[in-house]
Structure 1
């Protein structure tokens, strides 16, 4: 399975993956998922929001145990973020069938669409729509960098964009969702554990900063006469790092767009996206407020106008303690609990159904990069842990 996925959407230049939602690479990944489902005799379906499902047992029976993750990527992302969870889910089902267990609850593997938000700027679109955290109107308004609307991209890929929206009936049939994921940090490597259990997801969000100045000639405009938004943006980037350190949080400007984007032109617009995360809501609010205050102070000095728009936000997610504790018991009680600053479909769905997460050791801690890596024996340990969890939840 891993070899079959390896070449899909991979850049020959960077070695990273560009599997963006509703593109040709995404279609190949989706075709692979369907092939895996049908090869195992599972009932395959696509829901109204484009999420894929592979069912063992009757989907309508209720109280189902679902596992899975996503197959899309960030720009030049790594091979493991998302796909490891989907591949491990199919492998865990194979393991359980090999054990000859009897399933007392329906089991499904899911591939949630557009988890990374790389193309349309909003993470976990598929699960947000399903859980009613994103309206059809808001989803239809999303556009990619080329101005293509989400609805257009979905329709071009053969999916009905007018059908998207909340799916409480489907969620009502799910008793538990367990997502396996590569750890996006080095906590397990430091403790020499192969597998961990998620305790909570930090609150996090994305904010767009629009700095508007005045375009002019880079060679003939006196420094004193300039309204250069790049200066304001640069000060804001430094402020984000400074304020995050003070609060024990993280803050990153990882995406920027410049107009007119000429080497010999002072920009008229610099648009930067802030990603910030913290262990609690107060710390996150403190960081974002301080970054905006620093930006506005510098903007006034530079003669620059500033607009700040919160594009997405996810509050702290405490995974259901009963399910989390049950995973710990199934796995022997010695599995470490880890908090994480990364968002996941499990976090979005936690407001609607009981969810939990397993993490697999990442020896470098690198994520969202071609250097992302997990050793084969650690991945195998993750599969066995997931199989044990599914057996404990669905077969006893």
Structure 2
């Protein structure tokens, strides 16, 4: 199958007719259909197929038990109303790259794997990269069992309803020990490649990033009869904190976003009793990130006190800076640069987005390739990559896999 035909097959799954975006949430019907697509692609190519203890899918050319495997892939789930490329581009490109290797007559000397990591976006249970975190032992079984979606359904219940045994989840060091290198291809979530005129780039590092929940607790009351002076309105403190986050991010040269909010009792004619907002912040260095979060928290405390509102701040997740394996990164640069054209330099760039490759970097050598995104838009239906750039990404990935696995 061609890249185009695979892409066309996957494109309708989980797409919202209203927004044009995707709602491929973990352990839902759309996720099931994406998993079925992955399994079919593996079986069509005669690859070995398995689902691991944490629900991640694997397709194998060669016996992974031999060890020192080269693995590529990404994820198929999405954020709410996300774009088509974030995650799926890496999975589709992996199968297309394998097809390209076969067309070249390349013979792998190391096992070659393709993976679809489960629940990378964290859209349903609020924690990103659940599948890879569990595998790498960065998420405990107890904490995983406490993850709950907006309807009160726990992760174990959701997995069980989808036909996966939740009692099997947990660290998988034996599997990771078989992998010698993991290379993830991803659409760029920014415009660096578009500005430089390059179709493909190599990742240098992932910025430190995290998610913090701000709970502003006030007093519910009637919107029409309660004097302004008598109100304990948590929405005011929250609104001012959102503006403070923008100021702090600008001062630190970082990014900060309040993109999710929950309000109780959530009535048009009721002053809220509780406003819960989630802060996502990322920066090029740990000191900058600390400055942003500290500044936002201090501002929130000040605003809460001014409006007679109680405040609680909970850090829900955090990932320190990830420096991709330098030797592997340099090998990718050699393969995509001097091996192709002695005059060619492949750009190396950092990113503020988290990825499964970042999670696995603490356990195995990992690297990433980026494909040009002309708009820079991501996590949106407007996310886009031109087909010729996607094909360039497939060929680059095939070159990398040939260089690493067919020596």
Please list every run of at least 4 consecutive aligned residues from structure 1 whose deviation after the TM superposition is greater than 2 angstroms: none
Summarize the alignment of residues 285-364 of structure 1 with structure 2, pairs less than 5 Å apart: 285-333=290-338, 334-364=345-375
Q: CA deviation at 1:332?
A: 1.2
Q: How far apart are the structure 2 equivalents of 1:208 and 1:260?
A: 18
Contiguous gaps of at least 5 residues in structure 2: 1-5, 339-344
Match of 2:161 in 1: 156
Summarize the alignment of residues 373-388 of structure 1 with structure 2, pairs less than 5 Å apart: 373-388=384-399
Q: Residues 275-328 of structure 1: CA distance to partner in whole angstroms, max 9, x if unpaired?
A: 000000000001000000000011001010000000000000000100000000
Q: How far apart are the structure 1 equivalents of 2:337 and 2:313?
A: 48
Q: CA deviation at 1:245?
A: 0.1
Summarize the alignment of residues 199-210 of structure 1 with structure 2, pairs less than 5 Å apart: 199-210=204-215
Match of 2:258 in 1: 253
Summarize the alignment of residues 222-261 of structure 1 with structure 2, pairs less than 5 Å apart: 222-261=227-266
Alignment of 1:79 with 2:90, yes or no, is no
Q: CA deviation at 1:233?
A: 0.2
TM-score between the two structures when normalised by the length of structure 2: 0.97
Match of 1:62 in 2: 67
Q: How far apart are the structure 2 equivalents of 1:182 and 1:195?
A: 9
Alignment of 1:8 with 2:13, yes or no, is yes
Q: CA deviation at 1:395?
A: 0.2
Q: CA deviation at 1:7?
A: 0.6
Q: CA deviation at 1:345?
A: 0.1
Q: CA deviation at 1:4?
A: 0.6
Q: CA deviation at 1:162?
A: 1.0
Alignment of 1:121 with 2:121, yes or no, is no
Q: CA RMSD in A?
A: 0.4
Q: CA deviation at 1:3?
A: 0.7
Alignment of 1:110 with 2:118, yes or no, is no
Aligned length: 396
Match of 1:181 in 2: 186
Q: Secondary structure at the match of 1:14?
A: coil
Q: CA deviation at 1:11?
A: 0.3
Match of 1:172 in 2: 177
Match of 1:372 in 2: 383
Q: How far apart are the structure 1 equivalents of 2:315 and 2:40?
A: 39
Q: CA deviation at 1:24?
A: 0.1
TM-score between the two structures when normalised by the length of structure 1: 1.00
Match of 2:341 in 1: none
